[in-house]
Structures are given as C-alpha cells and as structure tokens.
C-alpha cells in the first residue's frame, strides 16, 4: 500500500491493511479504528505512549527538538512578547487579536470575573485549612449549577460565552480558595486591573481593597511580578494531550457539563506527577536545606539502589531541553537581578542546576531541568505560597482545557471514550 501498512498474523497467515493518516507536523498515524473488527484483537499501549487519541489543530510538540507551538506559533514568539490574554485569544480563535479585539476581550473578562453570591456560601462548607486545589475543584464543579444553560451549546457564540466565563472566574475562585484556607476575608475583583494584576490583587489586598506600601512608597505589586506571572500563565496555557487534558476530553465525550469537565482536569492536575510537581520541587529544595548538602543528594539521585529522585528534572515528552524551561531560566535571572533575590533556596537550586547541566549522568539520560523546576523557584521569588503553585497552573491551563473541549465538541464523529483492556484474570 502506498498510503498504508500491512500487518500479518503469523498464527493464521492472514494479512490486514490499515491506512496512514498524514499530519502537518510530527509523526503520521496508523488508522486502527477498525483494527478489532478486522483482526479480532486489541492493541496494547499502557500509558498511551504510541497512541494518538484525537486529531487536533491547537498545540504541537516535538519532544526531540524541544519545540512547542500554539496554533503554529513557536512559544518563544509568544511568552513575554504577547500578554496571556492575547495567547488566550489565539487559542480560542486561531489568530492573535487586533488591538480592538483584545480590548473587547479584556473588558468582557474583567466584567465576568465576579462570582454569583450563592457560590460564596459554598466556601463556608470547607475547613479553613483546606488545600486551595480541593476547594478550587469543588467550586468549579458548582459553577455548573449556576450556568445550567451551558450543557447544550451549539453555536460559536455559545461556545465563546461559556469559555470567556470560565476563564475569567477561575482566578477569582483560586484567590478565594487561598484566602479561605487562611480564614481571611475575600477580595472582590477590581475591573480597573489587568487579568494577571487582578489575580495578585485578590490574593494580596487588605479588606477594603487597600494594598501594602513599602518604605519607599512603592505598591506591593511590581510590574516585573506581573510580567513574570503572566509569562508563567502563557507557558502553562496548553500542552497537547497530557493527562489532565485527556481527562477533560474524556469527560467531554460523556456529554457532561463543560465546567464539570474542567473540574475533572483540575483534579487530575493536582497529582504530584503532573501539575503538583512544582510544589514538590520547592518541598525537596527545603528538605535539602543547604548548599552544602547538594552533593550528597546528587549522589543519592545517581544511586540506582536509592529511591530518591530529583524533582523537576526530565519530561515524559521532551527528550531535549524543555523550551518553556529555557524561557523561565531567563526570567528567573531577571527576577534575581530586579528583585535583589539571593536566598538560600535559590542558591541550592542554582547549584543543582549547574551540576545537572554539566554531569554526564543527567545529560545522557536527558534529565534537563523542566518547567516545574523553574516555576517553583520563580513563584517562591514572587512570594506565592506553595499551596497556590498548582492553582496558578490551573489558571494558565484553563484556556487550553476549554479550547480542547470545544474542539472535541465540534468533531462531527466524536465518540464516548472507551478504552479496551487485555484481560489476564481467572
């Protein structure tokens, strides 16, 4: 076959033919949708290491080259050069916005950022020390009860209204979840502030919307902090068919409410092997405790008989340097200079990074620092508590999840997700 492959079953001598679907970038795919019908067998692929679960036009990754693109645009051309809201618009609309389009988009998100008063009461049901991720996931599910009309969407206008609503409200829910975990009053959104500054405002402001002023008379939210967090949001915006995105698509396939699908993605992201890894990075740096202990832990990481593993190194997809990590490395250096950072934690991280980038053990195994390694350090530099690292990941990723949800819903031949199994029991 010129555009297909043949598979022979050597037990019975039968040959089966399957078409190849061409991609625009990256590997092509063998179309095995009728594999079971033709052969009476299943394919076996734990962890989906070689399985394309869908067609998508949103994000492309080449792990070997260390390449990441949103809608065909390299991440290096977006992060730090376009705002997070511009990137949101790009993902949702397949193009960067004009100044007027961006202004309309920005204004709409600002006005949709407020929560229904009924949702406020939900927070009272959680203990004061609840992890913000638990509260965030539950409150996002609860949104489905306030916006029941989003269960049956048909037009592009319906999709956009739903997407804009969830993108705008997630930062508010995240900030409220954080403040509830501390037992302090909520701060309502300020429509005079940009998306990213408003989130920092809702986290940091005193009751009445007052902000801390330092001895030099400067406000507590600096432009470099806004730029840094905005860049982190952009780098987290989408990442192809990762675990949480796959969960969102799988839940979408059941016909569930879109906000329930997003909540499911939040729950999946919380795992320490996924979005929770950046929190684990800082916990590990704190455990190491001193620059003097780094060599000891590097030795433990290289010992095959020691269960200790360095957090924040290596990636399931990238077999080269994570392109997002390169951007964050540069950002970390800017923060260190502009915010006059020179903490023990940064010194520990810098020494680990220096050793890993020059040690053949790590290089030969493609164990480069990944996005989680730098994200945890940068968020710590921004005085963001560990409990909020993963909620910040959620804020950035919400646009990717909802874009993936919409893409799935627009697929004419979409089916409910139903993997098969290789039964080995009695």
pLDDT by residue (tens digit) across 249-267?
999 999 999 999 999 999 9
What DSSP element (H or E) covers 74?
strand 73-74
DSSP string, 228-253: HHHHHHHHHS--SS-HHHHHHHHHHT
Is 394 within 8 Å of 82 (Cβ atoms)? no
Q: How confident is the model at residue 185 (pLDDT cuts 50, 70, 90)?
A: very high
pLDDT of 409 reads 92
Q: Cα(239)–Cα(19) distance, rounded to whole angstroms?
A: 27
pLDDT of 1 reads 41
DSSP-assigned letter for residue 341: -
Most confident of 82-86, 286-290, 349-353: 82-86
Q: Cα(186)–Cα(192) distance, rounded to whole angstroms?
A: 18
Per residue in 65-110, pLDDT (tens digit) is: 989 999 999 999 999 899 999 999 999 999 999 999 999 999 999 9
Q: How confident is the model at residue 218 (pLDDT cuts 50, 70, 90)?
A: low
Q: What is the mean pLDDT of residues 106-127?
A: 95
pLDDT of 341 reads 66
3-class SS of residue 213: strand
Q: Look at residue 339 and tell me whether its pLDDT is greater than 80.
A: no
Is 321 within 8 Å of 368 (Cβ atoms)? yes
Residue 94 has a CB neighbour count (10 Å cut-off) of 13
Q: Based on the number of CB atoms within 10 Å of its own CB, is 112 exposed (0-12), middle (13-18) or buried (19 or more)?
A: middle
Residues above pLDDT 70, as percent of the chain: 97
Which is more confidently placed, 326 or 412? 326
pLDDT of 401 reads 98
Q: pTM of the prediction? A: 0.91
- In the structure encoding, which two tokens stand for residue 222, read together? 């600096």
Is 226 within 8 Å of 200 (Cβ atoms)? yes
Within 8 A by CB and 6+ apart from 20, the residues are 3, 4, 5, 28, 29, 30, 31
- In the structure encoding, which two tokens stand for residue 19, read together? 């078409």
Is 237 within 8 Å of 384 (Cβ atoms)? no
DSSP-assigned letter for residue 412: T
What are the residue numbers of the active site? 315, 372
Q: Look at residue 350 and tell me whether its pLDDT is greater than 70.
A: yes
CA distances from 337 to 1, 228, 260, 332, 369 (A): 60, 13, 42, 9, 21
């Amino acid at each position: 076959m010129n555009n297909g492959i043949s598979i022979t079953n050597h037990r019975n001598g039968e040959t089966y033919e399957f078409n190849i679907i061409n991609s625009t970038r990256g590997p092509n795919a063998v179309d095995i949708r009728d594999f079971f019908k033709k052969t009476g067998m299943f394919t076996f692929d734990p962890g989906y290491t070689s399985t394309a679960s869908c067609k998508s036009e949103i994000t492309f990754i080449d792990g070997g080259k260390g390449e990441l693109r949103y809608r065909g645009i390299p991440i290096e051309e977006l992060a730090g050069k376009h705002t997070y809201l511009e990137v949101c618009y790009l993902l949702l609309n397949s193009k960067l916005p004009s100044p007027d389009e961006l202004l309309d988009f920005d204004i709409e998100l600002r006005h949709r950022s407020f929560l229904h008063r009924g949702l406020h009461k939900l927070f009272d049901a959680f203990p004061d020390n609840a992890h913000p991720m638990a509260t965030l996931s539950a409150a996002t599910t609860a949104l489905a009860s306030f916006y029941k009309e989003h269960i049956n969407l048909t037009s592009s206008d319906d999709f956009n209204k739903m997407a804009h609503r969830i993108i705008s409200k997630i930062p508010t829910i995240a900030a409220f979840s954080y403040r509830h975990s501390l037992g302090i009053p909520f701060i309502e959104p300020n429509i005079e502030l940009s998306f990213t500054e408003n989130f920092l405002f809702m986290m940091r402001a005193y009751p009445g919307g007052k902000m801390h002023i330092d001895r030099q008379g400067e406000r507590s939210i600096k432009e470099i902090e806004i730029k840094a967090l905005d860049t982190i949001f952009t780098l987290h915006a989408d990442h192809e068919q990762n675990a949480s995105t796959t969960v969102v698509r799988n839940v979408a396939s059941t016909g569930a409410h879109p906000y329930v699908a997003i909540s499911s993605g939040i729950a999946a992201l919380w795992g320490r092997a996924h979005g929770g890894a950046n929190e684990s990075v800082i916990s590990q740096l704190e455990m190491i405790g001193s620059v003097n202990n780094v060599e000891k832990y590097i030795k433990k990481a290289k010992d095959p008989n020691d269960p200790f593993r360095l957090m924040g190194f290596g990636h399931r997809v990238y077999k080269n340097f994570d392109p997002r990590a390169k951007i964050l490395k540069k950002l970390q250096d800017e923060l260190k200079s502009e915010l006059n950072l020179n903490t023990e934690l940064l010194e520990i991280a810098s020494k680990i990074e220096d050793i890993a980038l020059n040690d053949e053990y790590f290089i030969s195994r493609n164990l480069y620092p990944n996005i989680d390694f730098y994200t945890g350090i940068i968020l710590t530099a921004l005085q963001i508590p560990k409990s909020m690292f993963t909620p910040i990941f959620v804020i950035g990723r919400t646009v990717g999840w909802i874009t993936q949800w919409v893409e799935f819903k627009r697929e004419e031949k979409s089916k409910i997700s139903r993997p098969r199994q290789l039964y080995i029991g009695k």
